[in-house]
Chain A
Amino acid sequence: MSDSTKPILELTDVGKSFGNIHALRDVSLSVRAGEVTCILGDNGAGKSTMIKIISGLYQHDTGSYHVCGEPMNCSSPRDALDCGIATVYQDLALVPLLPVWRNFFLGSELTIGPWPFRRLDVAAMRRIADDELQKMGIKVPDIDQPVDTLSGGQRQVVAIARAIHFGAKVLILDEPTAALGVKQSGVVLKYISAAREAGLGVIFITHNPHHAYLVGDHFVILRQGTLDLSSPRAELTLDDLTHHMAGGAELDALKHELKRIDAPDVGAVHEKHEQEIGS
């Protein structure tokens, strides 16, 4: 990995409060090109708040935020997009009933013709959307079908392909595997590493350490708005990560408690539990 290169995106001691809730406190983060930075944490740890700051939906209260060495004053998602920061939100920022190609180009539509007659370049947009999706390995039967009719994994990939097509330097994925089954999660993880190979800096938010460890180069754990861990892959094993995620001692207690379930199919219960974490 390109550890020596300068980070494309850097947060230093960033804080954000909502009224008297400190959603984030003194959090630092560096994102480099060609790296997957995983942000882990329980529900309410502040993951979404952090990426909303990065993507310009929220302003940070304290600390600094630099993109390519320049102080960043994103006041809107549009500004962040113009800086090459693309976010695939938990809700994917797709409009369910719009056709696939319209979703693909939403907000960045291609047009032809002089002003009063300026119109969508429908043919080009349909062709490009189809090409880009094929490159990502998705064959949509009909590029005109509402995006709603795609599977969860396919929708994720549409959102990722869109971000890559529009020249994202940093790709932020907010819990892309949260709603997916094992197989579909695999599809999405594949595209995360594809985006890394394409030289993008990827921020991958998840609360599943297994998914994170499959693709991550750097791991950050948030706990109640503060940084609990920030470590490169080389200094960490999956067990460390899982252990940290569950909060160390708390995990031990949980293990102890689980052992006491004396049912004959403890294995099945365990597997189910893991799947639920995975979902």
Chain B
Amino acid sequence: MATTKSPPRKPASPPSPETVPGGTPARVTQRSLARRFATRPEVGSLVGAVAVFALFFTVAVPFREFDSLSTVLYASSTIGIMAVGVSLLMIGGEFDLSAGVGVITSALAGGMFAYELSLNIWVAAALALGVSLLIGFLNGYLVVKTKLPSFLITLSMFLMLQGLNLAITRWVTGSVASPTISDMDGYASAQKVFSSTFTIGGVNVQITVLWWILFVALATWVLLRTKVGNWIYAAGGNADSARAVGVPVNYTKIGLFMTVAFMAWFVGMHNLFRFSTVQSGEGVGNELIYIAAAVIGGCALMGGWGTAIGAAIGALILGMAQQGVVYAGWNPDLFMFFIGATLLVAVVLNMWVRLRAQRR
């Protein structure tokens, strides 16, 4: 590392690299402030969000209504809550391809525990949380123990869960969906927490939007203002270095996988209490949407760089795209094309931003 970064050898005379070039210290500070802003991980995605908003605002008349904004925010929030976990994990240097089906696993578990064991909904939700955290722990434990790329471990987990979701649901219920649980004890209060709406200025807003904001704020605080946040950046930036100065890299990574699992549980519960039943084949492909949100938001694929706010902006872009394509009357299939194109622009832009950040 040091070898590649060492500056080219200069003739021994001027100027000494150890001293700040004299003259205009004020200008140096100003420039560094401007650069500091321009090289924030979120800045590129913020520009992107404005561009995407402007695009749909122009081409789609219904997009301009306040109600649409609430729909967009709702779509963004379900992507965004997962993107919080996925982006933290990515900053920590790992992936979770099982996140998409993990949401459904948790929802199915909650639904089936409640119905089959006639449990209070909250007890079932707690058991589902246990299932999710166990999956997250397994992902993390296997990654740190085998030292295999998390791509492979979580790909295996993804396929296994996909199979189990279908098989266990059919085995337990005899159908492809979890049983309807809307008349069970605790359903109403659980629905309040996970899937209710409230009104601001005549517009209905899903409660997931509030949870999303809360989780993003919490993740941002953890990343920037706590020890653990420092460890997450270090674990993703250079795990060996972090380990050498005493950072518990393995615990950090396992914790991150479990954070993704927690978010999967949360979104799973939202799905369950919104529709009171869950289709066992859903969720496939969503893991890539979450990863796309994190990357569009400026998280580095290889870890060590990114923010939770960036991932939130990424989720917002995808939410706008998802609804905007509909409002514009385009073929909904174009949503995927749109995500792909956005991702492509984002990765190129982010690479450029990061290169600038590394330059003095």
- Knowing A179-B3, A180-B6 touch, does A91 contact B241 (C-beta < 8 A)? yes
Residues on the B chain within 8 Å of A92, using CB: 1-2, 241
**A239 is an interface residue with CB less than 8 A from chain B:** no
- Knowing A95-B234, A109-B227 touch, does A142 contact B32 (C-beta < 8 A)? yes
Q: Do the beta carbons of B6 and A90 come within 8 Å of each other? A: no
Q: Do the beta carbons of A146 and B357 come within 8 Å of each other? A: yes
Q: Do the beta carbons of B245 and A106 come within 8 Å of each other? A: yes
Q: Do the beta carbons of B28 and A119 come within 8 Å of each other? A: no
Which single residue of chain A is at the shortest CB-CB distance from B9?
A181
Residues on the A chain within 8 Å of B36, using CB: 142, 144
Contact segment of A32-40, A133-141, A255-263:
A133-141
Count A-side interface residues using an 8 Å CB cutoff: 53
Residues on the B chain within 8 Å of A146, using CB: 357-358
Residue in A94, A148, A180, A187 whose CB lies within 8 Å of B18: A187
Q: How far is the CA of A108 from the CA of B29 in the complex (A)?
A: 29
Q: How far is the CA of A96 from the CA of B305 in the complex (A)?
A: 10
Interface residues of B in 327-360 (CB under 8 A from A): 354, 357-360
**A153 is an interface residue with CB less than 8 A from chain B:** yes
Q: Do the beta carbons of B245 and A77 come within 8 Å of each other? A: yes
Interface residues of B in 229-255 (CB under 8 A from A): 229-230, 233-234, 237-238, 240-247
Q: Do the beta carbons of B246 and A155 come within 8 Å of each other? A: no
Residue in A77, A95, A141, A279 whose CB lies within 8 Å of B246: A77
Q: Do the beta carbons of A77 and B230 come within 8 Å of each other? A: no
Count CB-based A-B contacts (< 8 Å).
141
Residue in A76, A107, A179 whose CB lies within 8 Å of B242: A107
**B24 is an interface residue with CB less than 8 A from chain A:** no
**B20 is an interface residue with CB less than 8 A from chain A:** yes
**A210 is an interface residue with CB less than 8 A from chain B:** no
Residues on the A chain within 8 Å of B26, using CB: none
Q: How far is the CA of A107 from the CA of B323 in the complex (A)?
A: 44
Write the A146-162 contact mask toward B (1 if CB under 8 angstroms, else 0): 10110111110000000
Which single residue of chain B is at the shortest CB-CB distance from A152?
B6
Residues on the A chain within 8 Å of B305, using CB: 97
Q: Do the beta carbons of B246 and A108 come within 8 Å of each other? A: yes
Q: Do the beta carbons of B230 and A106 come within 8 Å of each other? A: yes
Q: Do the beta carbons of B226 and A120 come within 8 Å of each other? A: yes
Q: Do the beta carbons of A97 and B357 come within 8 Å of each other? A: yes
Q: Return B94 CB to nearest CB of chain A, in Å.
A: 16
Residues on the A chain within 8 Å of B225, using CB: 119-120, 122
Residues on the B chain within 8 Å of A105, using CB: 230
Q: Do the beta carbons of B246 and A148 come within 8 Å of each other? A: no
Q: Return A91 CB to nearest CB of chain B, in Å.
A: 5
- Knowing A81-B246, A92-B1, A107-B247 touch, does A182 contact B230 (C-beta < 8 A)? no
Q: Return A61 CB to nearest CB of chain B, in Å.
A: 22
Q: Do the beta carbons of B244 and A152 come within 8 Å of each other? A: no
Q: Return A111 CB to nearest CB of chain B, in Å.
A: 6
Which single residue of chain B is at the shortest CB-CB distance from A148?
B358
**A78 is an interface residue with CB less than 8 A from chain B:** yes
Q: Do the beta carbons of A182 and B12 come within 8 Å of each other? A: yes
**A93 is an interface residue with CB less than 8 A from chain B:** yes
What are 17 A-B pairs with beta-carbon distances under 8 A? Answer: A76-B246, A77-B243, A77-B246, A93-B240, A95-B304, A97-B237, A111-B226, A139-B19, A141-B32, A145-B360, A146-B358, A149-B358, A152-B6, A153-B18, A179-B6, A183-B17, A187-B18
Which 5 residue pairs across A and B have the least CB separation, nearest first? A107-B245, A107-B246, A95-B237, A179-B2, A93-B241
